[in-house]
Amino acid sequence: MQANKIYKGDALELIHKVDAESVDLIVCDGPYGINADQWDNIPNIQEFNLKLIEVFSEKLKPGGALYLFGKPDCVDFIDYRPFLNLKSKLVWYQPSRLAQGRLNFTNNYDIICYFVKGERPAVFNLDDIRVPQLVELEHRLRCEKVPSVKNGTYAGTKFNENGKNPGDVWGDIKQLTYKSHELLSRDVLHTIQKPLKLMERLVKASSSPGDLVLDPFCGVGTVLAVCEKLGRQYMGFEINPEYIELAKRRLNKVRREEASLLFSK
Ligand SMILES: C[S@@+](CC[C@H](N)C(=O)[O-])C[C@H]1O[C@@H](n2cnc3c(N)ncnc32)[C@H](O)[C@@H]1O
């Protein structure tokens, strides 16, 4: 299979054509098992995800990463440990979600499971994903002199001027709305298109320029567009030809923008 292409078909079949241990990063924003759409109608999402984790682990290089999107229970009661190590469960918090529940607390976050093949990630570019320190200067100065828990002496708290680790609850990236400039079509709002900023954080954190990134459920190509812009190689799988068309147009636009930037330098 060639890099920088979108392949039409079922991800679970296409994945077998990918070379073993050839992929640096997989961003898997596939079925959640919650929608009426046919493609999302998965009777047991945990078993489905376990299958994905198993096949993806064969394709990842040692130290490679998988980000698996889903609802809070997406990996409950399955044993993924023979295949990959779960490093974090990132919470993508969406406070704007309508709180319509009457008998329970309304769910207003998605989970992004961050898995690594082996103990340590081959790449974790923290400096590329730092977020602003949301502390007032005064508070910050106060915090800089806190007694050490160990022996009661004062120690300086280190603040990185370039920002902090984004942590595992991400409330700073908003869901797309009808007004978002990056929205490709109204039809793709709720069920599929994710914000570029969200995918950018994952791609930047867990890959370097030239690395190969696989998006097995690429939709309208958000991850691929990020890869094109950031100089990663990529491969996308998608079953819906209309989404593939939108993704291809989007990639061409990114290429044109990149080329005109090069000329203007
Ligand atoms: C949540 S969406 C991905 C959205 C994508 N991250 C974006 O921003 O455009 C999941 C996508 O997986 C596709 N899909 C579902 N089942 C599939 C399968 N078995 N093989 C390939 N694609 C599939 C759907 O058509 C849908 O576009």
Q: Is the CB of 250 under 6 A from ligand 1?
A: no
Stretch (H or E) spanning 56: helix 45-59
Q: Is the CB of 35 under 6 A from ligand 1?
A: no
> Which atom, in ligand 1's list, is nearest to the CA of 219?
27
Q: Is the CB of 94 under 6 A from ligand 1?
A: no
Spell out the domains of the chain, with CATH numbers in brackets: 5-129+166-264 (3.40.50.150), 131-164 (no CATH)
Calculate mean pLDDT across residues 171-182.
92
For atom 12 of ligand 1, which residue has the closest CA? 217
pLDDT at 157 over 90: no
For atom 15 of ligand 1, which residue has the closest CA? 39
d(CA 221, ligand 1 centre) in Å: 9
Q: How many residues are recorded in the chain?
A: 265
pTM of the model: 0.93
Q: How far apart are alpha carbons 144 and 165 in whole angstroms?
A: 18
Lowest mean pLDDT among 50-54, 121-125, 157-161, 221-225: 157-161
Strand spans (E) along the chain: 5-8, 23-28, 60-70, 85-93, 109-116, 145-147, 154-156, 169-170, 212-215, 233-238
Q: Is the CB of 110 under 6 A from ligand 1?
A: no
Quick: pLDDT tens for 200-249. Answer: 999 999 999 999 999 999 999 999 999 999 999 999 999 999 999 999 99
- Of residues 98 and 116, more confidence is placed in 116
Quick: pLDDT tens for 29-64. Answer: 999 999 878 899 999 999 999 999 999 999 999 999
Residue keyed to tokens 């002496």: 153
Confidence class of residue 155 from pLDDT cuts 50, 70 and 90?
A: low
Q: Is the CB of 33 under 6 A from ligand 1?
A: no
Q: Is the CB of 242 under 6 A from ligand 1?
A: no
Q: Is the CB of 236 under 6 A from ligand 1?
A: no
pLDDT at 150 over 70: no
Quick: pLDDT tens for 101-118. Answer: 788 888 999 999 999 999
What Å distances lie between residue 222 and 85, 135, 202, 229, CA to CA?
A: 26, 32, 12, 11
- Start-to-end CA distance of the chain, whole Å, equals 34
Instruction: State what percent of residues in the chain have pLDDT above 70.
Output: 89
Instruction: State what percent of residues in the chain have pLDDT above 90.
Output: 73
Q: Is the CB of 240 under 6 A from ligand 1?
A: yes
Q: Is the CB of 194 under 6 A from ligand 1?
A: yes
Q: Residue 173: name the closest of 239, 90, 62, 238 by CA.
A: 90
- Model pLDDT, residue 135: 65
Residue 74 is which amino acid?
A: C
d(CA 84, ligand 1 centre) in Å: 22
d(CA 12, ligand 1 centre) in Å: 12
CA dihedral angle for residue 207, residue 212, residue 215, residue 219, rounded to 10 degrees: 100
